[in-house]
Amino acid sequence: MSVDPEGAAGWIIPALVVFGVTALLVAAGLWALRRAGRGPRARAAADAERTRAGSALVQLDDAVAELDLEVELSGALYDGAAPPSLRRARMTAQHVRDQAFEAFRDLDVAHPTEARRTAARIRARVDGALAAVTQARAVHDEWVRAHGSASAQVDAATHRLARLRTELGDPGTLVADLSSRYDAAEWRDADAAARTASAALAAAETRIAAARLSAADPTRSALPELTAAQRELRRAETASRSLDEAYRLVTDAALAVPQEFEAARTAIAQAGRTRDDLEPADAERLSAELRAVADGVAALESDAARRPTATVAELARLRGRLDLALGDARTAQQRLRGARSALPGTLAAARGALARAEGAAAGAGADARVRLDAAQREMAAARQSQDPVSALDAARRAIRHAEDAEALAAYARLAR
């Protein structure tokens, strides 16, 4: 049977047109959906959900800090006899918080639709952890009311205050020692920590005295004042550790400055020998960087004795610039030697950056806390790594994250 070509064309061509138009409409629809997913409304919705997730995450981070305080108080007063629900809630909350920090950090680069969904999941998990914390606190408070003695709690808090005063001694002594040898920028953090510790101890003494009066009155509860006293004692302990750390940072840096200068000059000399084996254009570019790094090192010498931590940090930055300039021009053995010599100073710089970030991020928003968490993770990785090159890279990432956290916290304070 023969096929009429004109008849076949009469139905094939319209069908092709219909299918072609349909395919174009489907493609246009998919394009429109993708565009809408990246449009202003989608971004605004993702930002709003991210903000809500960040607020919940800040609440959980604060709740974990409060739980640390309550668990510590419970252990000090009741010698581990209190129900373990509070400890379990703290462990769960810490786990959820750490996972949420990591997921929250990835929201900045996610597609708006995926960012909105991820932020919603973060908020749901955080809300669940907060609910568990609230329930555990209620159980613990009920147990304390049934088994705790107000007078015993006051005595324990008084003993802890006396112990802290003995351990702290005169914080002004450390500050005076630093101020007699170094620039103000070097001991500013130590001075702030010393003032905070002294103020916290004084406030704790006032709270304990009020709690003692409440404990003697059957119609009043001493628990609110005891909790406030415990919070001040915790603040004093934290400030005391910060003071010790700030003092060690400065004094350790002062001892390390000569070795860091020597290591930097050795690295410059080795880079010069590497330059001699490069092509003329590459050698010229490296020569320019070498001159800049050498000039930077020389410029630090005049104030190094008065500004040891700043000097070590700047030397670490110059070593990073030198490594970047060298790129792939070095052998594996040269990179290993360079990492070993740069690692101590870079770790010291990371310690200082992390200490500043921890002080700045207290009370800050989610963005600063997430960056601080990333800095702490990288610092831990740097300390645990057995490979000097990997440890050096992690320490440098820790510095960047810590500086970002400090900047974000400062921006948030200005915005408020």
Structural domain of 392: 248-415
Using pLDDT thresholds of 50, 70 and 90, give the confidence band for residue 311: very high
Residue 340 resides in a domain:
yes
Share of the chain above pLDDT 70, in %: 87
- Specify the higher pLDDT residue, 29 or 23: 23
Same domain, 282 and 366: yes
Average pLDDT rounded to a whole number, residues 143-166: 80
pLDDT, residue 307, reads: 96
Q: What is the mean pLDDT of residues 342-353?
A: 94
Nearest to 379 by CA among 367, 390, 394: 394
Residue 20 lies inside a defined structural domain of this protein: no
- Please give the helix or strand (H or E) that residue 18 lies within, else none: helix 5-38
Number of domains in the chain: 3
Supply 348's token pair. 């010291």
Question: Both 280 and 227 in a single domain?
Answer: no
More confident residue, 156 or 300: 300
Residue 34 has pLDDT above 60, yes or no: no
More confident residue, 38 or 172: 172
236 and 294 co-located in one domain: no
DSSP 277: T
pTM of this prediction? 0.78
Among the ranges given (10-24, 50-64, 111-125, 245-259), the one the predictor scored with the smallest mean pLDDT: 10-24
Same domain, 285 and 408: yes
Residues 67 and 57: their CA atoms lie apart, in Å, by 15
Whether 404 and 317 share a structural domain: yes
Burial group, residue 330, by CB count within 10 angstroms (0-12, 13-18, 19+): middle
In this prediction, residue 340 carries a pLDDT of: 92
In this predicted model, what pLDDT tens digit does every residue of 179-233 receive, in sequence order?
999 999 999 999 999 999 999 999 999 999 998 888 887 777 777 888 888 889 8
Please, is 95 exposed, middle or buried when counting C-beta atoms within 10 Å of its C-beta (0-12, 13-18, 19+)?
exposed
CA–CA gap between residue 17 and residue 38 (Å, rounded): 31
Q: Is residue 69 part of a domain?
A: yes
Give the residue with greater pLDDT, 316 vs 12.
Answer: 316
26 lies in a domain?
no
Burial 102-134 (b: 16+ CB within 10 A, else e): ebbbebeebebbebbebbeebbebbeebbebbe
pLDDT in tens, 2-27: 545 555 555 566 665 666 666 666 65
Indicate whether 14 belongs to any domain.
Answer: no
Name the percent of the chain lying above pLDDT 90.
42
Q: Which pLDDT band, with edges at 50, 70 and 90, does 33 fall under?
A: low
254 and 315 housed in the same domain: yes
Looking at the structure, do residues 362 and 395 belong to the same domain, yes or no? Answer: yes
pLDDT band at 318 (very low <50, low <70, confident <90, very high): very high
pLDDT at residue 201, rounded to an integer: 94
pLDDT tens-place string over residues 382-403:
999 999 999 999 999 999 999 9
Whole-angstrom CA distances from 370 to 111, 252, 316, 373, 408 are: 19, 29, 24, 5, 10
Count other Cβ atoms within 10 Å, centred on residue 83.
16
Do 143 and 256 lie in one domain? The reply is no
Task: Give the pLDDT band of residue 148 (cuts 50, 70, 90).
Answer: low
Query: Which of the two residues, 361 and 74, has the higher pLDDT score?
Result: 361
Domain shared by 285 and 398, yes or no: yes
Residue 1 lies in a domain: no
Residue 329 CA to residue 335 CA, distance in Å, equals 10
Domain finish residue from 222, 246, 270: 246
Instruction: Say if residue 138 is in the same domain as residue 164.
Output: no
Is 22 contained in some domain? Answer: no
* DSSP state, residue 99: H
- The rounded mean pLDDT for the chain is 85
Note the pLDDT of residue 80: 60
175 and 275 share a domain? Answer: no
| Residue where one domain finishes, among candidates 198, 224, 246 | 246
Looking from the CA of 194 toward its CB, the CA atoms found within 13 Å total 18
When pLDDT is cut at 50, 70 and 90, the band that residue 82 belongs to is low
Whole-number pLDDT of residue 81? 62
Please count the other Cβ atoms lying within 10 Å of the Cβ belonging to residue 405. 28
267 with 343, same domain: the answer is yes
Residue 281 in any domain: the answer is yes
Measuring CA to CA, which residue among 56, 51, 62 is closest to residue 94?
Answer: 62
Among the candidates 246, 261, 286, a domain finishes at 246
Determine the pLDDT at residue 115: 84
